[in-house]
């Protein structure tokens, strides 16, 4: 299969430019509606709030911008984030003169721009891989631009939007290397910097370097030297900073997710949810790619390799915490554009006529977005709000709870939570994270999920460790919003607490706490 020079082609053709411009414009309209759909009105003010994990990063960014350092709670140095450059960007957002209710929207708009940039890169890659087929390129753009999981993780504030653009740009630079362009240094500078967006991008960096060492013989030595240099410099620089600032060689979330549970069962769970992902996405789509794969094309091999590496890494870490939702998780999403380029090319090979190809792409889009059944299509079409967002859902309830907490508690009050992002961010109270993402003691404890072979599916990364005796009995939060496990298990430590209604939540308030005006709160209807 011949491949045109990336400088030659196609993306410069007027017709291709028009098609891509229309697709990107349509995507930006969709992204704007998606972002608006995640917002909600509270006390006459429209609030924008990110996915709860992203709000943990926002709290770090807010404190960094305010001169308090990289901390979740002022004065406590625990690395409860795994996206340092994204946190740095969030800190810049908090330097803007905008109200707290709108800060998240800046992150979301930035994500939309990065996703649009990714579509432009996907278009260029597809033109180079598919013998300059405009139809294939636009098919890949449509599959990528309207893929719900990628949009959800990105537009709800996770660093996925930046990482997917970096992965796609890296693939494009690899293709230029294969065409003889001297862009090796740029490739590894980009991938080395990406490890500061997420440390596990070191896996992607190593995989790209290994692939290029094998297939790009004229620059084999350059790939080896620059790849190894970027890998070592990226990880060593972070480790040195981490040891200096946090006093630990790894992020707190590494200990939380990767220790205290049998590795074999963790990987088994990761493999199982990976199979579920393929099954729910429609195994026929993957079968089509494999059955008609252009085995002699190095560019196609590069795309397939990137997808395979991210899938293998997802299985290794046990998958993600929200696999019940369906679709590609955060680790796989950043490689899905590579799969969509391959899929678009294979669909076009099956039916090159315009009508048939458009129908096949449309069927694929519908199938890929029915991530938890046909009801997911309502989420994709924005008939209902995206995951955990919108009026009355978790994000809105947490913001309302945070506002109510701010009204009835002193600034030095402490609040116990399992959703450790939104409530601490909007209330700015000292947080006690019951699940240990920002608590090093819990992160180093054994998993509370049974380790038997039949129970490995109960393992949920980042949600398998808690210690009520420590979090409640020792730390004694003034208010407890969430209890993660069965309340009966926590009951012995809740004897000094009473249940009250706080906004939309029923919370536990410590009896006699001078930092909470319990007299202003009505009892919960279910309180005994």
Mean pLDDT of 53-72: 98
Checking if the pLDDT of 134 tops 80, the result is yes
Same domain? For 410 and 282 the reply is: no
Checking if the pLDDT of 224 tops 70, the result is yes
Same domain? For 236 and 279 the reply is: yes
Checking if the pLDDT of 412 tops 60, the result is yes
Mean pLDDT of 52-78: 97
Same domain? For 354 and 399 the reply is: no
pLDDT at 14: 66
DSSP element (H, E) containing 507:
strand 505-510
pLDDT at 90: 98
pLDDT at 12: 45
Same domain? For 31 and 177 the reply is: yes
Angle, to 10 degrees, between the axis of helix 336-350 and the axis of helix 354-369? 140
Same domain? For 84 and 167 the reply is: yes
Mean pLDDT of 183-196: 97
pLDDT at 449: 80
Mean pLDDT of 399-407: 95
- Greater pLDDT, 484 or 203: 203
Contacts of range 8-14, beta carbons closer than 8 Å, 24 or more positions apart = 9/127, 9/128, 9/132, 10/127, 10/132, 10/134, 10/137, 11/123, 11/124, 11/127, 13/134
Same domain? For 64 and 212 the reply is: yes
Task: Kindly report, residue by residue over 437-457, the tens digit of the pLDDT.
Answer: 999 999 999 998 865 555 667
Checking if the pLDDT of 141 tops 50, the result is yes
Mean pLDDT of 257-284: 94
Q: Copy the structure tokens of residue 97.
A: 């003169």
Same domain? For 15 and 114 the reply is: yes
Domain end point (choices 380, 404, 427): 380
Checking if the pLDDT of 7 tops 90, the result is no
Domain count, the chain: 2
- Greater pLDDT, 488 or 481: 481
Smallest CA-to-CA distance from 122 within 135, 133, 138, 109 is with 138
Q: How far is CA 235 from the centre of its chain?
A: 21
Checking if the pLDDT of 274 tops 60, the result is yes
Mean pLDDT of 336-359: 95
pLDDT at 8: 43
Does some domain include residue 4? no
Does some domain include residue 507? yes
pLDDT at 16: 65
Does some domain include residue 506? yes
Same domain? For 246 and 288 the reply is: yes
pLDDT at 291: 93
Same domain? For 85 and 129 the reply is: yes
Same domain? For 173 and 269 the reply is: yes
Q: What is the distance between the alpha carbons of residues 523 and 518, in angstroms, rounded to a whole number?
A: 9
Domain end point (choices 350, 380, 410): 380
pLDDT at 458: 81
Checking if the pLDDT of 9 tops 70, the result is no
Checking if the pLDDT of 165 tops 80, the result is yes
pLDDT band at 526 (very low <50, low <70, confident <90, very high): low
Does some domain include residue 152? yes
pLDDT at 11: 43
pLDDT at 528: 45
**Domain, as residue range, for 426:** 394-520
Mean pLDDT of 105-112: 98
Same domain? For 174 and 216 the reply is: yes
Q: What is the distance between the alpha carbons of residues 93 and 196, in angstroms, rounded to a whole number?
A: 18
pLDDT at 52: 96
Contact call for residues 172 and 60 (beta carbons, < 8 A): no
Domain end point (choices 351, 380, 409): 380
């Amino acid at each position: 299969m011949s491949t045109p020079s990336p400088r030659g082609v196609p993306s410069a053709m007027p017709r291709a430019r028009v098609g891509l411009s229309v697709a990107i414009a349509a995507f930006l309209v969709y992204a704007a509606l998606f972002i608006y759909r995640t917002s909600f009105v509270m006390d006459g003010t429209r609030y924008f709030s990110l996915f709860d994990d992203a709000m943990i990063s926002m709290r770090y960014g807010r404190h960094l911008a305010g001169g308090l350092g990289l901390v979740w709670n002022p004065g406590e140095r625990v690395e409860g984030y795994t996206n340092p450059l994204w946190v740095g960007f969030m800190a810049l957002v908090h330097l803007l003169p905008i109200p707290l209710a709108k800060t998240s929207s800046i992150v979301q708009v930035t994500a939309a721009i990065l996703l649009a940039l990714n579509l432009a890169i996907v278009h260029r890659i597809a033109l180079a891989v598919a013998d300059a087929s405009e139809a294939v390129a636009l098919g890949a753009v449509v599959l990528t631009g309207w893929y719900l999981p990628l949009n959800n993780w990105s537009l709800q504030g996770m660093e996925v939007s930046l990482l997917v653009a970096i992965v796609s740009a890296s693939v494009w630079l690899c293709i230029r290397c294969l065409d003889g362009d001297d862009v090796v240094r740029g490739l590894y500078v980009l991938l080395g910097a990406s490890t500061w967006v997420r440390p596990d991008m070191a896996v992607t960096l190593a995989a790209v370097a290994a692939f290029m060492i094998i297939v790009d013989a004229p620059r084999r030595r350059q790939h080896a030297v620059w790849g190894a240099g970027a890998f070592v410099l990226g990880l060593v620089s972070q480790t040195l900073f981490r040891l200096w600032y946090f006093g630990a060689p790894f992020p707190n979330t590494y200990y939380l997710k990767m220790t205290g549970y049998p590795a074999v069962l963790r990987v088994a769970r990761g493999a199982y949810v990976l199979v579920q992902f393929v099954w729910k996405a429609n195994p026929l789509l993957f079968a089509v790619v494999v059955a008609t794969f252009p085995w002699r094309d190095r560019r196609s091999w590069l795309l397939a390799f990137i997808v395979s590496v991210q899938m293998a890494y997802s299985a290794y870490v046990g998958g993600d915490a929200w696999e019940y939702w369906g679709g590609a998780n955060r680790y796989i999403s950043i490689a899905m554009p590579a799969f969509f380029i391959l899929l678009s090319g294979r669909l076009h090979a099956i039916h090159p006529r315009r009508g048939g190809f458009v129908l096949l792409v449309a069927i694929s889009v519908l199938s890929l977005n029915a991530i938890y059944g046909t009801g997911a299509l309502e989420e994709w079409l924005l008939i209902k709000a995206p995951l955990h967002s919108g009026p009355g859902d978790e994000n809105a309830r947490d913001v309302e709870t945070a506002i109510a907490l701010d009204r009835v508690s002193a600034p030095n009050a402490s609040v116990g939570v399992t959703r450790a992002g939104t409530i601490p961010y909007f209330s700015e109270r000292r947080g006690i994270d019951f699940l240990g993402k920002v608590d090093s003691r819990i992160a180093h404890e054994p998993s509370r999920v049974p380790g038997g072979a039949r129970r490995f599916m109960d393992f949920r990364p980042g949600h398998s460790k808690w210690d009520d005796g420590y979090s409640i009995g020792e730390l004694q939060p003034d208010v407890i919003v969430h209890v993660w496990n069965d309340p009966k298990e926590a009951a012995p430590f809740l004897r000094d607490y009473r249940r009250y209604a706080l906004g939309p939540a029923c919370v536990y308030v410590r009896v006699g706490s001078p930092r909470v005006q319990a007299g202003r709160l009505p009892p919960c209807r279910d309180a005994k």
